[in-house]
Chains A and B, each alone.
Chain A
Amino acid sequence: MCGFVGYLGNVEPATADGLLRRMTGSIAHRGPDEQGVFVCPSAGLGHARLSVVGLGDGQQPMASASGDLHIAFNGEIFNYVELRDELKARGRRFRTGSDTEVILHLYEEMGPDCVDLMNGDFAFAVWDAPRQRMFFARDRMGVRPLFYTEVGGTLYFASEVKAFARVPDFTAELDEIALDQIFTLWAPIAPRTAFKNVYELEPGHIMIADKGGLVTRPYWQLDFPDAEASRAPRDERQAAEELRELLTDATRIRMRADVTVGSYLSGGLDSSIVSALAAPMATGGLRTFSVTFDSAEHDESEFQEEMALAIGSHHSAVNVGPGDIASIFPEVINATERPVIRTAPAPLYQLSGLVRAKGIKVVLTGEGADEVFAGYDIFKETLVRRFCDRQPGSASRPHLFRKLYPYLPGLQKQSASYLAAFFGAGKDSLDDPLYSHRPRMRNTAAAKLFFSGDLRAKLASYDAAAELASQLPERFARWHPLHQAQYLESRYLLPGYILSSQGDRMSMAHGIEGRFPFLDHRLVEFASWLPPGMKLKGLVEKHILREATKDLLPPSIGQRTKQPYRAPDSQSFVGAGEQPWLRDAMSSEAIADSGFFDVSTVRKLTEKCRQQAVTGFRDNAAFVGILSTQLWHRSFAGSRSDVTEAA
Chain B
Amino acid sequence: MTQQIKDTVKAFIIDNFLFGDTSYALADDVSLIESGVIDSTGVLELVTYIEDQFGLEMADSDIVPANLDSLVRIAAFIEAKQAAAQPVKQAAGAA
A-to-B contact residues, CB < 8 Å:
408, 410-411, 413-415, 417-418, 421-422, 424, 427, 442-443, 445-446, 449-450, 453, 598, 600-602, 604-605, 608, 615-618
Chain B residues positioned under 8 Å from A608 (CB to CB): 19
Chain B contact patch, size range: 20 to 34
Contacts known (A450-B19, A605-B19); A415 close to B60, Cβ less than 8 A: yes
Chain A residues positioned under 8 Å from B20 (CB to CB): 600-601, 604
7 CB < 8 A contacts A-B: A410-B39, A413-B44, A414-B43, A443-B36, A443-B39, A615-B41, A618-B36
CA distance A616 to B41 in the complex (A): 5
Q: Verify A421–B65 contact, CB threshold 8 A.
A: yes
Contact of B33 among A422, A601, A615 (CB under 8 A): A422
B5 within 8 A of A: no
Q: Verify B21–A449 contact, CB threshold 8 A.
A: yes
Q: Verify A616–B18 contact, CB threshold 8 A.
A: no
Chain A residues positioned under 8 Å from B60 (CB to CB): 415
Q: Verify A616–B65 contact, CB threshold 8 A.
A: no
Chain A residues positioned under 8 Å from B41 (CB to CB): 410, 615-617
Question: Which residue of chain A is the closest to B65 with respect to CB atoms?
Answer: A421
Q: Verify A446–B40 contact, CB threshold 8 A.
A: no
Q: Verify A618–B39 contact, CB threshold 8 A.
A: yes
Q: Verify A617–B39 contact, CB threshold 8 A.
A: yes
CA distance A337 to B44 in the complex (A): 36
Contacts known (A415-B64, A417-B66, A427-B34); A422 close to B40, Cβ less than 8 A: yes
10 closest Cβ contacts across the A-B interface?
A: A446-B36, A616-B41, A601-B19, A410-B41, A604-B19, A410-B40, A417-B64, A616-B39, A615-B41, A421-B65
Instruction: For chain B, residues 8 to 58, give those with C-beta under 8 angstroms from any C-beta of chain A.
Output: 15, 18-21, 23-24, 33-34, 36-37, 39-44
Q: Verify B39–A418 contact, CB threshold 8 A.
A: no
Chain B residues positioned under 8 Å from A445 (CB to CB): 36
Q: Verify A422–B36 contact, CB threshold 8 A.
A: no
Q: Verify B24–A449 contact, CB threshold 8 A.
A: yes
Chain B residues positioned under 8 Å from A450 (CB to CB): 19
Q: Which of B23, B24, B40, B63 has the most CB of A within 10 A?
A: B40
Question: Which residue of chain A is the closest to B61 with respect to CB atoms?
Answer: A415
Q: A414-B63, A604-B19, A605-B19 are in contact. List 5 more A-B contacts (CB 8 A).
A: A410-B40, A443-B39, A446-B36, A449-B36, A601-B19
CA distance A247 to B42 in the complex (A): 44
Question: Which residue of chain A is the closest to B69 with respect to CB atoms?
Answer: A421
Q: Verify B39–A422 contact, CB threshold 8 A.
A: yes
Question: Which residue of chain A is the closest to B36 with respect to CB atoms?
Answer: A446
Rounded to whole Å, the gap between the CB of A399 and the closest CB of chain B is 13
Contact of A418 among B19, B37, B43 (CB under 8 A): B43
Chain B residues positioned under 8 Å from A442 (CB to CB): 34, 36
Q: Verify A410–B64 contact, CB threshold 8 A.
A: no
Q: Verify A601–B40 contact, CB threshold 8 A.
A: no
Chain B residues positioned under 8 Å from A616 (CB to CB): 39-42
Contacts known (A418-B64, A616-B42); A601 close to B21, Cβ less than 8 A: yes
Chain B residues positioned under 8 Å from A449 (CB to CB): 18-19, 21, 24, 36
Chain A residues positioned under 8 Å from B64 (CB to CB): 415, 417-418
Rounded to whole Å, the gap between the CB of B44 and the closest CB of chain A is 6
Rounded to whole Å, the gap between the CB of A154 and the closest CB of chain B is 44
Chain A residues positioned under 8 Å from B63 (CB to CB): 414-415, 418
Q: Verify A453–B40 contact, CB threshold 8 A.
A: no
Question: Which residue of chain B is the closest to A401 with respect to CB atoms?
Answer: B40
Rounded to whole Å, the gap between the CB of B50 and the closest CB of chain A is 15
Q: Verify B18–A601 contact, CB threshold 8 A.
A: yes
CA distance A418 to B32 in the complex (A): 11
Chain A residues positioned under 8 Å from B39 (CB to CB): 410, 422, 443, 446, 616-618
Chain B residues positioned under 8 Å from A421 (CB to CB): 33-34, 65, 69
Chain A residues positioned under 8 Å from B36 (CB to CB): 442-443, 445-446, 449, 618
Rounded to whole Å, the gap between the CB of B58 and the closest CB of chain A is 11
Contacts known (A408-B40, A618-B39); A418 close to B24, Cβ less than 8 A: no
CA distance A408 to B40 in the complex (A): 9
Rounded to whole Å, the gap between the CB of B18 and the closest CB of chain A is 7
Q: Which of B15, B41, B64 has the most CB of A within 10 A?
A: B41
Q: Which of B18, B33, B66 has the most CB of A within 10 A?
A: B33
CA distance A28 to B82 in the complex (A): 68
CA distance A453 to B24 in the complex (A): 11
Rounded to whole Å, the gap between the CB of A611 and the closest CB of chain B is 12
CA distance A163 to B62 in the complex (A): 58
Chain B residues positioned under 8 Å from A600 (CB to CB): 19-21
CA distance A554 to B49 in the complex (A): 47
Chain A residues positioned under 8 Å from B34 (CB to CB): 421, 424, 427, 442
